[in-house]
Chain A
């Protein structure tokens, strides 16, 4: 897979365009959180993950869980770009009987590992996956992406304790830290800061990165960065709506749908930002 910054940035730009178009056509989606996560998804699917789109269920594949399942469209666009299915299928997003539901379904979409949508479920499942690899003596790794507001769910902290207890150094949690949840800022809702300190206190190796610097994400995800016997937490500082000026860092774009004018402006901005 390509590892130069320009190629990865270009891939992320194309995924953003696919996401924008799918959300606009469907008239629904969670575009703000999708834009904040797409650079992370690009780093994972086009650099880090050991996966094979022609054999999505290969036993020794790396596992990725999109715990913030409401940003499914970004995952679909990424999977399509990576060759798991045709990008043309993105036009069916949210249409009756489409495989591309508002939240990902492993039974219907190749490359999806588990059905998410209920927040706080991804990390416990990831702990189980990582534990399975340890029991079987397998080398594959497990990655999970959750929202920062999602960390308000207590199940994450049950899983955080277990991951540390089980010494799951094959597990990496990435927190999409865009500081905005559905209706307000985290700070005004239930501030979970300091995230890295909390995970460190739970026995994790924690660090903060720029979640829109793809090479920085790739480096942070590299196996060489793993601290033996400790799970890894990467807090990726991001912006909701990244890449589109009028959406960026705006809480209302959690699940707002662009008008035609806004869609066309967003397209122009994404096409210029090469």
Chain B
């Protein structure tokens, strides 16, 4: 977006303190294009008339993954739709893949909308858990191939993201910490499995001790937030065992990192039970990298309280 100087730096103008602020500004301008967010994870937020039609990020499954991994649509059906969408408009932009899937009878329009909307909100949630880098708006980008139309109001998106973060925090698992935890079934899970739901059993089967909530979401074709909620509920039923954080190799990453702004919000919620004093350097660095302002603004965690408990622990 060329008209507004400084949108590409997080610190510059009052118009863009954060990605949510930027999205609100772009909504007023009825902007069509993309917002590219760099960070861990980064992502692309697609906008049409300022409404969010898709969020693509390594942090959460895209519509394609939700449809294919859940078994809702077969690989052959998907490939056929892609071929039809590509050939529908020779020379021009490929046709809307979602419309083709509906036209081919692979999925109903209403159901596809629910999947597209779920992917938008889950992608925004995943971006909010990441360490934000910079962001910039780009007008020229191609529209998303499969998207929610009309899109979501940016204000509603950040409200829902805030609800998700605060719900998990209220349940005792601040999502930024939960995101780093790798899970395997607990010793008790074997006997309790008969009483768990099919959904929770799928998680138990997929939880190899190597996977985070995000990895489970990709493996199962579900949303990251939904998997996290299930993990918290299963944890309450003592079905899960958290793998201890691994000792990183002696040499920490030499790659550039975004320095944390403000005091590190160290939290001591119950889920990631790391033993204090045994934390590897790398893990500590990863935890303190939590931004003061998430990419899609989750409310800041009560830093002061956490600092206090940190002092008490010493």
A binds B: no
State the B residues within 8 Å of A (CB). Answer: none
